[in-house]
Amino acid sequence: MEQRIKSCLDKGDPRAAFDLLVRLYQDKVYRLSLAILGDPGRAEDSAQEAFLRIWKGLGGFRAQSTLSTWIYSVARNTALTALQSTSLHRTHSLEEPSIRIAAEDYRQECAAPARAGFDVSALVNQLPARYAQVIRLYYMEERSYDEVARLLDIPMGTVKTLLHRARNELATALARSTVKGG
């Protein structure tokens, strides 16, 4: 498909290339935006903005990088800019108890038995931004470390470390809230 897109570009038909490109990459771009922003509405806006930037840059696209690398880079930068423009960009440390408090609050709000109706999105949103991005993307991309590393443009070792800590935090928060909640 990427060859077909390049072929359309070579033939001077950017609109056809763009249509193919949207069809091929819309899920990836949306998922990357959602992983970074954590909110479906904002992720859709960000994905739209990224594709518009891609459309405007398509005429000048040069094969210095692969098409997918360029597209992911535009999508990532667009989402990160959107993230920075809001107060959602948090800089928690692992020692901060916010995620545990969130899990306990959630448990207290729910009169349901322990672990029933557990809202994992709310807990993930309480994680430091980098952990939340990696953990969302890992599950969206069918647990592929390689794909997460490629999309976020970070080393695979970093993906594994962030994921390890994030899962540990989430499990610890849930286990503690269960003990407290009875």
SS3 of 13, please?
Answer: coil
Could you tell me the smallest distance in angstroms from the CB atom of residue 35 to other proteins? Answer: 9
Could you tell me the smallest distance in angstroms from the CB atom of residue 155 to other proteins? Answer: 18
Q: How far is it, in rounded angstroms, from Cα 140 to Cα 150?
A: 14
Q: Are 74 and 117 in contact (CB under 8 A)?
A: no
Could you tell me the smallest distance in angstroms from the CB atom of residue 158 to other proteins? Answer: 16
Angstrom CA distances, 94 to 17, 19, 39, 70, 97, stand at 44, 43, 22, 32, 8
Nearer to other proteins, 91 or 142 (CB): 142
Nearer to other proteins, 20 or 80 (CB): 20
Q: How far is it, in rounded angstroms, from Cα 181 to Cα 173?
A: 12
Q: Which residues bind other proteins (CB under 8 A)?
A: 12, 14-15, 18, 22-23, 26-27, 29-31, 34, 40, 44, 47-48, 51-52, 55-62, 64, 70, 115, 118, 120-121, 123-124, 135-136, 139-140, 142, 164, 167-168, 170-172, 174-175, 178-179
Nearer to other proteins, 34 or 149 (CB): 34
Nearer to other proteins, 43 or 80 (CB): 43
The number of angstroms, rounded, from the C-alpha of 160 to the middle of its chain's C-alpha atoms is 15
